[in-house]
Amino acid sequence: MKVRGFNHLTLNITSLDKSIHFYEDILGCKLVHKGRIDCYLEWGEAWICLQERAELAPLSHQIGVDHIAFSLGEDEFHKAVHRLQEFSVRIVRGPLKRGGGWTINFLDPDGIQFELHTATLQKRMAEWV
């Protein structure tokens, strides 16, 4: 099996409207489809599916996904940081230089942690070796 790259992620969220505002208006994702309890957004080459599941308990960060990281050019990084700060998005780490590039970790409205990182895998491995 030869995987070509990252395709999409599907997130369970508590409020479709609140999350669409965050992903579209703050992060700059493009809304492609909105259904009754789900939506699809493009973010660069990847896409995100949001599924409203208000009945689910909040995520436990002890098991499962820790965070989801997306690549961002270094020329765009500080603008992205400013945008997150402008909208009072909860930043949990950074901005800082780490793993061969700039990084920042932040939370969406349901506490799902994202990271924007400017380094390639090769740069990160060179730094960790």
**H/E run at residue 47:** strand 46-52
| Active-site hit among 42, 52, 74, 115 | 115
The CA distance from 59 to 103, in Å, is 23
Q: Contact 102/125 with Cβ under 8 angstroms?
A: no
First to last CA, the chain: 28
Is 74 assigned a catalytic role?
no
The CA distance from 91 to 81, in Å, is 9
Task: Give the catalytic positions in this structure.
Answer: 115
